[in-house]
């Protein structure tokens, strides 16, 4: 007797003043120049780093006025800080000029930042980022840090302007040190931004986690109190399946800032991967206590309840995630899987349909809907969904295994074996696929 079951997938979720709407494929260039004078307490490096940060921010603000013309942004009803975060996530800012200049007898640094807005595919990139709530929150917090650090530059400049000839050497040195410390934090922020830019919102992971670890490490070296950088490095270790190292990073982030709800959420996810479900629930409960509006945390706690086979409690958490964020495709997909575990396959399919309406590029929803159709013995419809899941995510061994089962049930044994072979090549430790292939050979 064959005792083989498809596997469902659950996802954990570990910021030109006016534009005419351009033709598709047009490239719009935003250029911003900043001139930063030095002072008695402000070094050339202090001025340079501040000018770069200000030029980038001004360019992002101006580019954001174009993003506001996109229908997907208008429909999302974003506030200004969210638009700035969105700009930083979908647009690349380059420093194209950096030169010294003189203004009277004063010496300064001139910096030019440029953003080239390629409108081809821009709406799709914006939609993908908007669907990634966790990354949007990271970008919002990042832009808030930049705003705070630039405000500190202005405050120190005002203090420097007020400082007269009677200022003591100690007062001058204190101000000089304050500039240096703020510059170091701004430089750390630049490294943090480089690490954050490696995040792929479609795949919900870093494209190059090793490089992200390097960049976050540079940020931490410059600013050991940078809690968000520890959190980012923890996420990169999580992507590499180094869950215990990830937990160490989250521990340090929480020590530095115990109010970081997102870090409790991320540490909870790492405990899920280690199958330490009770500890995971403790962290997710704490994340919800700190921020009851975090839809992702309810989703993730729902994943734990599924692992504990408490499907009704899981559905309650997915319901809450969806109430908080009605556009949350992942929560719909996961709730569908909980309904499928309760053998309510048509309710599951309704949720998968909604997930795909919200995010047509979400591969797990295709994979899971395929499994629901397989449970209903609609194997050809299952294969159609598995095909689409594989097109979107060709490296997923589970989907090849499940498609192999569907071919097996249609008595297309050669195609089933091809899929089992591919699943094993992608994941040589995938024991269930060896068994399934063995049954076909027998």
CB atoms within 10 A of CB 290: 17
Beta-carbon contacts of 95 under 8 Å, excluding residues fewer than 6 positions away, are 52, 55, 56, 111, 112, 113, 114
Q: Give whole-number Cα distances, 417 to 262, 404, 438, in Å.
A: 43, 7, 9
CB atoms within 10 A of CB 169: 7
CB atoms within 10 A of CB 344: 17
pLDDT of the residue at 47 = 94
Query: Which has the closest alpha carbon to 85: 191, 197, 9, 179?
Result: 197
pLDDT of the residue at 20 = 40
pLDDT of the residue at 27 = 87
**How far is Cα 97 from Cα 93, in angstroms, rounded to an integer?**
12
Angle, CA 279 vertex, CA 219 and CA 331 arms, to 5°: 80
- SS3 assignment, position 23: coil
Q: Report the greatest alpha carbon distance in the chain.
A: 94
Sign of CA dihedral 281, 283, 289, 291: negative
Can you say whether residue 269 is alpha, beta or left, with left for phi > 0 and alpha for psi between -120 and 50 degrees?
alpha
Can you say whether residue 223 is alpha, beta or left, with left for phi > 0 and alpha for psi between -120 and 50 degrees?
beta
Q: Give whole-number Cα distances, 208 to 233, 246, 262, 290, 396, in Å.
A: 12, 16, 22, 31, 18
pLDDT of the residue at 259 = 96
Kindly report the pTM of this predicted structure. 0.84
Query: Which has the closest alpha carbon to 186: 226, 134, 149, 141?
Result: 149
CB atoms within 10 A of CB 23: 7
With a cut of 70, list the residues of the chain below it in pLDDT.
Answer: 1-25
Residue 199 DSSP class: E
**How far is Cα 355 from Cα 340, in angstroms, rounded to an integer?**
15
Q: Give whole-number Cα distances, 111 to 88, 99, 156, 284, 294, in Å.
A: 19, 7, 20, 44, 39
Phi, psi (degrees; rounded to nearest 5) at 308: -85, 5
């Amino acid at each position: 007797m064959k005792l083989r079951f498809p596997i469902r997938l659950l996802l954990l979720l570990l910021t030109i003043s006016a534009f005419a709407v351009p033709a598709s494929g047009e490239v719009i260039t935003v250029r911003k120049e900043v001139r930063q004078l030095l002072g008695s307490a402000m070094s050339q490096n202090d001025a340079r780093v501040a000018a770069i940060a200000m030029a980038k921010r001004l360019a992002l603000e101006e580019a954001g006025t174009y993003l506001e013309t996109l229908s997907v942004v208008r429909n999302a009803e974003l506030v200004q800080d969210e638009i700035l975060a969105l700009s930083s996530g979908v647009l690349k800012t380059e420093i194209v000029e950096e030169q010294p200049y003189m203004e009277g007898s004063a010496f300064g640094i001139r910096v030019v930042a440029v953003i080239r807005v390629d409108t081809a595919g821009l709406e799709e990139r914006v939609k993908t980022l908007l669907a990634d709530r966790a990354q949007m929150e990271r970008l919002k917090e990042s832009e808030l840090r930049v705003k705070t650090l630039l405000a500190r530059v202005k405050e120190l400049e005002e203090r420097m302007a007020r400082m007269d000839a009677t200022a003591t050497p100690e007062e001058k040195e204190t101000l000089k040190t304050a500039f240096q410390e703020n510059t170091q934090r701004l430089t750390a922020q630049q490294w943090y931004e480089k690490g954050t830019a490696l995040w792929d919102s479609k795949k919900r992971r870093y494209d190059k986690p090793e490089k992200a670890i390097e960049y976050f490490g540079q940020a931490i070296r410059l600013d050991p109190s940078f809690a968000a950088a520890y959190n980012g490095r923890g996420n990169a270790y999580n992507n590499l399946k180094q869950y215990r190292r990830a937990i160490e990073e989250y521990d340090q982030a929480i020590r530095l800032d115990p109010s970081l709800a997102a870090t409790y959420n991320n540490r909870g996810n790492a405990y899920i991967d280690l199958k330490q479900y009770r500890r995971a629930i403790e962290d997710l409960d704490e994340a919800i206590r700190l921020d009851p509006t975090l839809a992702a945390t309810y989703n993730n706690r729902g994943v734990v309840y599924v692992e504990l086979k408490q499907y009704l409690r899981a559905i309650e958490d997915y319901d809450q995630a969806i109430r908080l964020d009605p556009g949350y495709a992942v929560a719909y997909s996961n709730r569908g899987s909980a309904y499928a575990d309760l053998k309510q396959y048509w309710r599951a399919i309704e949720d998968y349909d909604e997930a795909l309406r919200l995010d047509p590029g979400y591969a797990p929803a295709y994979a899971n809907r395929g499994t629901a159709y397989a449970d209903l013995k609609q194997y050809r419809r299952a294969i159609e969904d598995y095909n689409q899941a594989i097109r979107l995510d060709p490296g997923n061994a589970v989907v090849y295994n499940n498609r192999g089962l569907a071919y097996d049930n249609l008595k297309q044994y050669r195609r089933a074996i091809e899929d089992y072979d591919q699943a094993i090549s992608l994941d040589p430790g995938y024991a269930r696929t060896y068994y399934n292939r063995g049954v076909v050979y027998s």
